[in-house]
Structure 1
């Protein structure tokens, strides 16, 4: 009996050619193991032990896939399940970070059955028991944990209890995942499937539109003629089949994701670095940015510590700051830096040690500015 052939295909040259031609760059990484990734995007998620849950910069992940943690069991007191079904905000809260409540659960070795999910609908399958002892299930939209929001200072949630409640009310799980996508390899599948709704000739129309704009982003004015794949054509009214001239706008990938209803668009940290490097070279990012400019150009993954810094009265930092040694060799890049204080926040990889400088990870910076 013949053995099955092991065929390996290298698509790197094809991808490079596509980028050279200007095809818009999109991430389609689903997850480590299709079955696991698909299961995680269902309302029931995957049951897990807290010992198997990993953290990165205070965020929860499983096999390099960012996840949230929830407790399906809503039977601990009479009527709890029914109340949660009627109003999800009255059910168990789900966790997006390694907050004090989760630490307390671990210390007390609580015996709840935990599940993880990255369901893009923000809905979770919960269960209880009827009067006869039969298990009953339903799918509900639970509220996010306020302790997690405070830990991460997501959208300034740590500023006040009022602001925290506002963030809970407007919380969008897809937007949250997208804002931290630069920290993880894999992203939720439905977010990566953004090709639905385009006309068959969309690539050609997009290419012509970007060329007509001289490959310049209409919003931030960065020129991407040598990196056309990072320049997108945006449908202003949100209708992807409406390719009328007045409905098309050329935007860099970073500005595109900041448009209404586009907050769930994932842009890798390396792409943000490249766009910001070009902005800096073209005089768009300078050493005297306002705080509004900082939040416009900085990777959203560091918005939490930046919000703390602003509320503490710090001057606006430099964004995507390149570190140089005594020989003027670039040795690393910081997401944000205060050169006068010799302090910086790095993303993913810590830079080489540099005399006098202090480098903090995102989680360390959250603690530093909130101390």
Structure 2
């Protein structure tokens, strides 16, 4: 786990969803305040300790981020063991936590909390805020000591880092095939193409005269997410228009299998593509015309200057 300011991701979200991230009200509300002693069975059933953080699962299935600490400070015992002068709090699966787990020292030994700890007294009887464990600091990439108050205010109660989710907020696990499509993609794609009367939404070419024609009409994911099958994210495109959606698609169509389909499409539907003035036809022919079958001298009809 590393605590980064995701600047690039922020800009991507702003561009995709046309929102101002800095002035967008999050739907997440502050999680309930929790302080609970961890028993052995709760460690297995209700606590998740990983490199991404330490989380508690409540009875409603909410996943709440927090930290672990020892709630009792005995100056004499601490000094005899060579420990720090005050307990430290832990926010990740650091070396200390891993050792304690191996020794099974969690049965009532640690407390899970998501609120600041400022009530432990030092050797002089002064109440202090506890500090973050040095091993945790190294693991998450922090180069300065922070108190539990700072961690709660700047991280746990900050949507950018908090990671607090309710059960309905957690994304559903989506199974995909080897190409990244959902298992029902063929049915979704066919239904969408039927709804558009097998017509390319870019150039207007109709490909519904027979079953074979439909092979050259493809369903495109507008945002590039192959698991997002919402209708407003889909677009019917003929093979040629699909190839020229962007540079990535064109590169994909240049491989042998996809290019064969693209080439066959242009050969079969050349006259129709000319008739409807497909916006990509002459670009394709200028670059790949030499790959068209010799008996189909398609570029003879290229307009001057094309």
- TM (normalized to structure 2)? 0.33
* More contact order relative to length (CA 8 Å, sep ≥ 6): 1
